[in-house]
Amino acid sequence: MTLVRRCFAVDLHGDPERIARYRAWHAAGAVPAAVSAAIRGDGVASLEIWLTGDRLFMIMEQDAEAAEDDAAKQARDAANPDVRAWDALMRSFQKPLPFAPEQTWVEMERIYAMSEQV
């Protein structure tokens, strides 16, 4: 299996109490098992979310074939009530990035790799 690294960003509403609740929902063991199973089922081998201020960065390693089939993932998510409920809950904490007002978790473009430098 070939893995690809994908990175995403989204903002949180800037209220410290809401950010604390978002963090609590992501503590070890807090994410519903069905949601973690769905993520793994999408070929995700590794996933981390990093926070600075009110901005989140998600870094994941995903099976390359699964990464290319976003339509299938969206269909699976739409058919999974646990994933739909989790997504709705998480969206209540998130706000779109200023340049992408209609979506959350915007995929980022890699523009630098030290391994490619001399």
Instruction: Please give the positions annotated as active site.
Output: 13
| Helix or strand run (H / E) with residue 50 | strand 44-52
Query: Could you tell me the two tokens for 106?
Result: 């915007």
